[in-house]
Every structure is written in C-alpha cells, then in structure tokens.
Structure 1
Amino acid sequence: MTARWPGRPRVLGIALLLGALGAQQANAGLFDDEEARRQINDLAIKSNERLDTTAKAQMELANQIQALRDEAARLRGQVETLSYELEAAKKRQQDFYVDLDGRLRKIETPAPARVDAKPVDEGSPAPATEAPRKVASDPAAETREYEAALNLFRANKLKEAATAFEAFAKAHPDSTLTPNAYYWLGNAHYALRDCRKTIDAQRVVVGKWPTHAKAPDALLNVATCQQELGDSKSARTTLEALLAKYPESSAATAAKQRLKK
C-alpha cells in the first residue's frame, strides 16, 4: 500500500491556480491586441475621410479661384472695350462739334463789303489831316489760325488747344471768329476738368456776344459747371435765365429737361 503525500493536494491546487491565471493573462493580451488594431483601423478610416474632405475642399477652392480669374479676365476685357468705345465716342463728339462749328461759321461770316474807290478831284483842296486808319485784318490768316487751334482740339491736344484759342482771342478781339474761340476755349478747359476757367470763358461769349449762335450753348455749359461745382442754386438760376433769353434754342430744350429733375 502506497503512502500518501500530505502536501500533494495543495500543490495541485496551486498548479491549477497558476494555470488559470496564465490563461486569463493570455486572453487579456489577445483582447488588448484586437482592441489596438480596431482603434488603429478606426483612426485610419477617419484620417482617409479627412484627407478626402480636404482634397475635395482644395479642388473646389482651385475651381473657384480659376472661375474668379476667368471672370476678372472677362471684366478686364469689358473695361478695355468700354474705354475704347468711350474714347471713340468722345472723338466723334468732338468731330461733330467741329463740323457744326464750320457750318455755323459759313452761315455767320458776312460777305466782305465792296469799297468803290472815288476819283480824286484835282481841283478840290486836300484835307489838312487824315484820320488814322485801322489796319485791315486778314480774314484768310485769321481763319488759318483759328483752324489750327480747332485742329488741336480735334486731336485731343487740349492744353495746346486752350493756349491757341486764348492767343487767338487776344490777337483778334474784333474778329468774327473770336466768339467761337472763347466758346471752344471753355470747352477745352472743361475737358481738362477746370470748371472755373470754363465758366469764365463761356461768360465772355454770353456777355460780349449775347446774340451769337453759341451764346445759348455757352450759358448751358456755365450751368453744367456750376452743378458740378456743387452750386445747384446758381445752376438753376442760369438755366432759368437761358430759358428766358433763348427760349427757342436747342439749349433751352436741354435746360427744361434739367429743371424737371
């Protein structure tokens, strides 16, 4: 009969306990690895989603930038076209006014008076003194000088044109072209954005030659500059004076329209 080992059951119990603990640790390690892999996988998915969202946003931004560039190019082209058309319109307007000026001058310029020479009576006594004669002007030279100033205005050489018109007016104060010179002098100053000089020149036309064909338009130009200078009250007074003095003129029609506003 074999003798029993008193400590054997205890040893077996300890062995079983250690085995159970080892199994739990193995299961715990396995669980930790799976959880880590799952979290890593989740992070990878979220990162990809973020990358996709960022890529889409960048693509949309790039498309928007390109669209803005295209729109800017289109608008730049429109601005260049409008600028060209504006310059062309200004040139046509100047040509129209110059042509109209030429037509009006043909109507306004009187025919040169004929001077019949009287025979000298040798038997009559000669006058003791002769009144000083005024030097006759040269209409052809005046016309050439005036046309030269007008051509400067037509070529949009505004400063040169203003100087030429002013020089003409001073050199030929009694010429039939002087009212026209002052009128175009005012227009040149207006194109140079100098309304005060414009008003001065146009007022000379109205003050010295109130019956001249350009007087109504000169008065209308005065009202325009007064309005641009912020003097609405004076502009209205000028327009009312225009209607009273020149009711049948085309400038009066424009004045009526302005007074309605």
Structure 2
Amino acid sequence: METFFSNQKQTLSRAFCLSAAVICLGATNNAWALFSDDEARKAILDLRKSLATTQLELQGEIDKLKADNAELRGKIEGLEKQGEDISSSQKTYYQDLDTRLGNFEPRTATIEGVSGTVQPNEKKAYDDALKAFQAGNLKKADEAFSAFANKYPKSPYLPLALYWGGNSKYANKDYAGSISQLQSLIKRYPNHPRIPAAMVTLGSSQLESGNKIAAKKTFNEIIAKYPDTDAAKDAHQLIAATK
C-alpha cells in the first residue's frame, strides 16, 4: 500500500514538472514571438522613414532641376531674342548703308516700266521738282523739271519729268511749251503708262491755244486708243468744247 502511494506521488510529480515545462516553454515562445513583431515593426518604420527621406531628397533634386531648366530656357530665349535684334539691326544698317551709297554711286532702277541708271542726287532733284508742283509753286516746278530733263537726258525718271513739266507749263498758261513738251514725251515713250493722261493735257493745251481741230483730233485719239480709262472719260467731256 505504501509502495502504491509512493508510485502515485512520483507520477504526479512527473506530471507537474512536465506541465510546468510546457508552460515555461509556451511562455518563452510567446516572448520570442512578441520580440520578433516589435523588431519587424521597428524595421518597417525605419524603412518607411528612410524612404520618406529619400523621396524628399529626390523631390528636392527634381525641383532644382526644373528651376535650372527654366533658368536655362530663359537664357536661351534671351539669346535668341538678342540674335533676332542683332539680325534686324544688321539688316537696317545695311539698308541704310545701301541708301547712303546710292547717294554717291550710280545705280540701276526701273521707274514705271522704264529702266536706266540713276546718278547720285538724281532722284532728289526729281523729288524736289515734284514737291514744288504739289505745293502749287508752278513756276519753280516748271524750271526744276526743265533743268532735270537737261541734266539727266537718259534718266528713267525723264518720262515723268516731261509729263509733270508739261502739266506745269499748262498750269502756267504756257500752252505752246506744254504742247511741245508733251508731244516729245508721246513720241519718245509711246507705251508709257502716263501717255493717256498726257494726251488729255495736250488736247487741253491745244484747245486753250485756239487750235480746236488739233484738240478734237487728240481727244478722239484718246477715246479710240484708251476707251476704258479715266482719260477717255475726260476726253468725252472736253470734246464738246471743240465744236
């Protein structure tokens, strides 16, 4: 009996120790599990923090590159604008230079279909005569156009000088001079675009000088040769005065 109880004690003792060992082992495993989770969380937080720092640094680099790119683009645009300004200035410079040189050197020009060499100061002489006519200073204009025709007999401006000179003489009531000058123009430049208008002034000079037959002939010629022009309309109105 005593032996039985002794065996039972030993059995209970072993069971207790085994249970205690299991409990201790379980506690140890739970502690290890808790330790691993904390370390993992810390590692994740550290990684997130590191990534966030890296992203901020990268964003800063990107923003800096954008700013540098914008500054560079602005400099390029500025250089392009400077290039355009320089090109425009050079073009203006060479145009001015060409104009200045034209005042000292002969140049070729085509004026209302007539080509020729324009001598230095030739255009200025023509322009001054025309300005005098436009200002109503007819005597000065007549003298200036006559002087121009004598000085530049081969000028491409000569047909215009003869045309305006003939009109100046007509306005000054120098009808004979107007007739002579305009007939010279018509003979030398029969296809010049000013011929229809020149013939109107010619017919008017002939009419004012009392030669109605010549005037009527001139007006009829205008109507026949240039039917759809303002000159023909003027001739139709003036021809009534030749009857």
Q: Which has the higher helix share?
A: 2
Higher alpha-carbon Rg: 2
TM-score by length of 1: 0.46
Which structure carries more strand by proportion? 2
